[in-house]
Structure 1
Amino acid sequence: MKSYRLGFSLKGFVAFMVVMIPNIVWIIAPPVNDPIAGNNALYPIIDILLVASQVIMIALLIIIIPNENMNSKSIKIYFKLACLCLLGYYVSWFCYYTGMVYPLMLVGMAVLPSIYFILIELWLKNYIAIIPSIIFGITHIAITCSNYIS
């Protein structure tokens, strides 16, 4: 824990908020055809694990700050890849709202933010947050696959 300090990571907060924009729009104005409204796990314990890992992931992303310098060229690739995931996520939401809904796209809507969060945590050198992100990603993708892939 010597490599980290508690505080407020503006970069972590902004990274979290930009991926949440489509979700906020979905809460305020869901599309008429809204198949993801019922995207829940068969067993409630899996939904609990999903939400718990998500809350921990978000909290760690925002309150944990690494003491290391982030000016490495290898670190910049994580940010660029995260931006590509975010762009793909936005495109998926656009397709969703325009009615172009198919199972693989719905799975992509679970995969892309999961990878995005891990890449952002690598970019921020917030390695502690990667564990709950992996748990979140696995549960989110598994729930979505079980509901939409036959």
Structure 2
Amino acid sequence: MISWTGIGVPMMVLIPNLLWLLFPPTNAPAVEEVDEPVGLMILERAGQFGVTIIPLFYPVILDDAASSFYLIAMLLLLIVYYAGWFRFFQRGRNYSLLFLPLWRIPIPMAVSPVLYFVLSAGLLKSFPMFLAALLLASGHLAISYREYRRIIRFLS
């Protein structure tokens, strides 16, 4: 059975990504310039699939202090994530802004949603969600860090 409250968990992260599809970066590298190892891409995609689908089967129930903690921490991470998107759109959709630090947070557009999904496993009380978030973390953080390093070399 589909959980209508659980749907909100991935949607909060996916909504800004829909804007990215409509208004992509102005200076993204060509596909052949991006060197993403296949293994990391597989981990990232499997994690993305998991953190998007698994919450559909787990309701959000605020029945204890831990649930409230997870929810508040997730909301704080969403603020960081949305601030990164705001910076990206406000500064002309410059590709590098998707990877450069924000408020001293390294690769904030990768770190904040990954931590959000890790915490969502606690909120949803779902071990499969935790595993999916770990898959996402292992692929997405590594790929984003590699891209950050490429950008830093290019800017130097």
Fold shared by both chains (TM-score > 0.5) = yes
Q: Distance in 1 between matches of 2:141 and 2:53?
A: 21
Matched residue type, 1:76:
S
Is the counterpart of residue 103 in structure 1 residue 100 in structure 2? yes
In the alignment, is the contact (CA less than 8 A) between 2:40 and 2:140 conserved in 1?
A: no
Where does 1:1-150 land on structure 2 (aligned, <5 Å)?
A: 7-34=1-28, 42-64=36-58, 70-99=62-91, 101=97, 103-105=100-102, 107-149=107-149, 150=152
Q: Aligned partner of 2:101: which letter?
A: L
Report the more deviating stretch, 85-94 or 119-128: 119-128
| Offset at residue 104 of structure 1 (A) | 2.2
The more displaced of 127-136 and 95-104 is 95-104
Question: Distance in 1 between the 2:33 and 2:68 partners?
Answer: 34
Moved over 3 A (4+): 37-41
Deviation at 1:123, TM superposition (A): 1.1
The amino acid of 2:67's aligned partner reads I
**Seq. identity, %:** 26
> What residue in structure 2 maps to residue 3 of structure 1?
none
Give, in whole Å, the separation in 2 of the partners of 1:54 and 1:146.
18
In angstroms, what is the RMSD of aligned CA positions?
2.5
Distance 1:40 1:123, change over 3 A: farther
Taking structure 1 as the reference length, the TM-score comes to 0.81
Distance in 1 (CA, whole Å) between partners of 2:70 and 2:86 is 24
Give the Cα–Cα distance (whole angstroms) in 2 for the partners of residues 96 and 22 of structure 1. 11
Structure 1: gaps (5+ residues):
1-6
Equivalenced residues, count:
141
Consecutive unaligned residues in structure 2, runs of 5 or more: none
